[in-house]
Structure formats: structure tokens, C-alpha cells
Structure 1
């Protein structure tokens, strides 16, 4: 598809040939990520959370756009309801045995953190394998803020702690590289040495192009009829 100047169906910036990466603002990252999630079939509410989570990660130097793209591509064509968790006290599971969506899990954690089903006390909370666990971290910070305790997330032998202020500590390189993992969450005190990594809003061009392609699914291509119908039907000259 080609775009015309001021094309209203265009969802975001066009990425032409050039450097391998682009620097976007946090708002641009969140907007594109939200539209891409929606284009991949995610419900609007979850898509908005996906956009916010991606921006949160980039604000802490973590490659949220690549993680989101990998998750959306993996889920493409799968009903999102099948990736939502079954909420139970002490253990959350999958209805189908497939991977859980980290955005759906994170949103549910936010909703249930004050209820017994979402309690991290008394042994914590075990969650069946989650896709791209790094996408959970923004939601864990939100949970920490509501519970006034930091949250420790353990997956595949790597451990990460997130505080209410978005401060982070742990084995981030290993944790961020996980494509999937069962998760254990526990409440804890913020560890000494916790720091806020520097923000990095540089995104891989190939990733942005792929996200933009998903985002375009939410638009209607221009046609002769849409061009003819564009503009006001009457003038406002008095």
C-alpha cells in the first residue's frame, strides 16, 4: 500500500530506507503499540494497556517494542480469550494449556491485587507459562504501588524485583530474553541497590515497520468513494 500526503488512513510514521533504528517519543511508541495490538485482534482495553506497558519498558531502557511484536506475531490468529488466565487463589492457569498473554495476566493482577485471588502473601502466586514475561514488569510496578511492597518475579531461574516507583533490580538480561516461562510472584521489600535504568526510546526499524503493518489493519484503505466523501457537505461561509 502506498500513502498519499495527509492520508487519513495512515496510522503512523512511514519508515523509509535508512538507519537500522529510529528514535521515537514515548507517546509515539505507546500509540503505535496500542494500534498494533488492536490490529492483531487484542480487545481495545488490553490494547491500551499494551501501549502503556511498552512505553513503560522503554522508559527504563528495555526493548518493549520488540517484545510486544514477538508476542503479537505469536498470537496472531489465536482468540485472545484463550490466552487469558483462570484466576484462582495461589495459582493462575490457562484454559487451553497454551501460553498466557502477559498483558491479560498483568491487567488481571492489577484488578485482583487487593483480593485473595491476587494475594502475593502466604507463599506468593504461581502462574502458568506466560509469553514474553518482560511485558509483565510494568504491571508488577502497578501492583507494588497498590500493595506498598515491591514484587519479585521469578521465571526460568532468573529473578527480577520491581518497586512501586518503577525501580528495578535483578537479572534483567536473562529475564528479558525469555520467550516464555512459568512465573512465581512474591511480595518483598525493595532491595538495596535498586536503580532506575536510563530510558531508551530508540527502536529497531524492522520492528517499527512490522508494528505499523499490524496497526494498519485497524484502518480502511483510501478509495474513490472515501475521497469523494471527504470534507464537509456544506460551506461555513456566512
Structure 2
């Protein structure tokens, strides 16, 4: 193999990362050391058809660099909407919700991401406070369907814990209140933004949607004239610390590894017939 020739002095040095869709001033390419570039090249399993390449020649970006952005606080990881829904459903199940509610929460998280909201922080607040919520009792639910709200003119039922937004939304979706009960006032709902997100695909909505940072508030349910369309896009970013915390809840749904799983799993045992 012929030795690599040095770069001619009259030519401009080639960038370490070349992509026709991006400029050569990318931060991840400008600071890449030649030794790192050489290590990436030597780990390549296939040689290019153009002949041998030297360490100073450009190579493609690493797979670990894709989908990452940086903010002032923590690196941002971009996830697709399918990944947002799947991760949120697993994290909700790991926090103690049933699989049915967990799937509804996953779809609600996808709706928040499609609207461009900070779905990661909202999801982390929901799973961290899942044990501090309580489900709607029969007395309160009966007054809803009788058209007796909990505001003025209704019974002010004070509860020590806020209502669970997921279980409250599931009750309203499974048994919608009658038309004469609207608008319906519900007191002390925890994280009410999730109640609005889970009612997106129904004929009900919150009259005033609170901010993501509101931990508990009184809400008013009213009829929805039409179902709005989410914003365009297919990916949303989440902070790396938030992603690690959500994965810790999702890991609670995994089956612990055992000797039996090693033997009976795919490729396990003494003989591999696959």
C-alpha cells in the first residue's frame, strides 16, 4: 500500500467533518482532535472504494453525535413522537399506573410534544407525584353526573390530596357527564395540564388551560367545538437529566435477570439451534 501523501501547502486544510447539508463551522467538528479522527477511521469495518484515507481526511459524523443539542443547562436529546409515547407509557406504568392508564398517558405525552410543550418536565412531575394523588370517590362522581358541580351552588368537598388527573380524565371519558351538567366545575385537580391533554381527543376540554408549572388548581370542563390539529413536526427534544430520570421509572417494568431467563432466552442454553 502506498504511503499517504501530505496535504499540499497551497490547498486549504480539509474540515474534519464534511456534510453537504451543514457548514464546516459546526462546534462538534471544529474541536475534534486528529487522534480521535484516526481512532474513528481505524474502527471502520469497510474501506472506501476511492483508496486509502489518511487521518486528516474527512469522515462522517459518529452515530452518538446525532440527535443531540446543547442548551445552557443540560444536553438535549431529540426523540421521535413514537419514542415519546413509548417511554411515557413505560414510565407511567413504573410509577404505579395500570397499563390502560399508562397507554393513555403515553398518548397524552405525545399530544404535549406535538404542541411543542415541555413534555419531559410534565411527565417527570406526573410520575414523581403519582403516589400523592387520589382517585375521584363515588360521592364526588355522583354529583358530577347529577349536574351538581363543586363550585358555587354545589357541595364544596374538601380533600386532603389533589385528584389524580389521569384517573379523573379516564372517568370522564368512560362515562361522559350529561349535556345539562356542562360546564362542570371540579375542585383541586393535581397537575391539571394532564387532564386537558388526556381530553384532547374527546368532546370535552378545559375552559382555561393552566401552565405546566401549576401543581394543583380548580378546573372547569366545557364542550369542545372541534378537535384541533397538532403542530407540524416529528421530533421533540428533552433534557438528558430528565430522560435519565424517566428511564429509571421505565426500568421498573423490566423483568429481573435470572439464571432461568439466560437458559431459556434466545440464544441461551448449551446448544444454539438458531
Coarse TM-score class (shorter-chain normalised): 0.5 to 0.7
Paired position in structure 1 for 2:135 = 83
The structure having more radius of gyration, on CA atoms, is 2
TM-score by length of 2: 0.59
Q: How far apart are the structure 2 equivalents of 1:46 and 1:134? A: 16
Paired position in structure 2 for 1:136 = 195
Q: Secondary structure at the match of 1:141?
A: coil
TM-score by length of 1: 0.66
Residue among 159, 179, 190 paired with 2:215 = 179
Q: Secondary structure at the match of 2:202?
A: helix
Distance 1:62 1:102, change over 3 A: same
Q: How far apart are the structure 2 equivalents of 1:179 and 1:24? A: 26
User: Greater relative contact order: 1 or 2 (C-alpha under 8 angstroms, separation 6 or more)?
Assistant: 1
Residue among 234, 243, 254 paired with 1:208 = 243
Task: Show structure 1 runs of 5+ residues with no match.
Answer: 1-16, 145-150, 161-173
Q: How far apart are the structure 1 equivalents of 2:158 and 2:206? A: 22
State the 1:224 CA deviation: 4.2
1:153 aligns with 2:206: yes
State the 1:94 CA deviation: 8.0
Q: Deviations over 1:51-73 (max 9, x none)?
A: 11101111111222321210210
The total of aligned residue pairs comes to 189
Contact 1:127/1:183 (CA < 8 Å) preserved in 2? Answer: yes
Alignment of 1:85-234 (within 5 A): 86=138, 87-88=141-142, 89=145, 90=147, 91=149, 97-113=160-176, 118-119=177-178, 121-144=180-203, 151-154=204-207, 159-160=208-209, 175-187=211-223, 189=225, 196-197=230-231, 199=233, 201-231=236-266
Q: How far apart are the structure 1 equivalents of 2:181 and 2:69? A: 53
Contact 1:85/1:104 (CA < 8 Å) preserved in 2? Answer: no
Task: Show structure 2 runs of 5+ residues with no match.
Answer: 1-67, 151-155
Distance 1:85 1:207, change over 3 A: farther
State the 1:100 CA deviation: 1.3
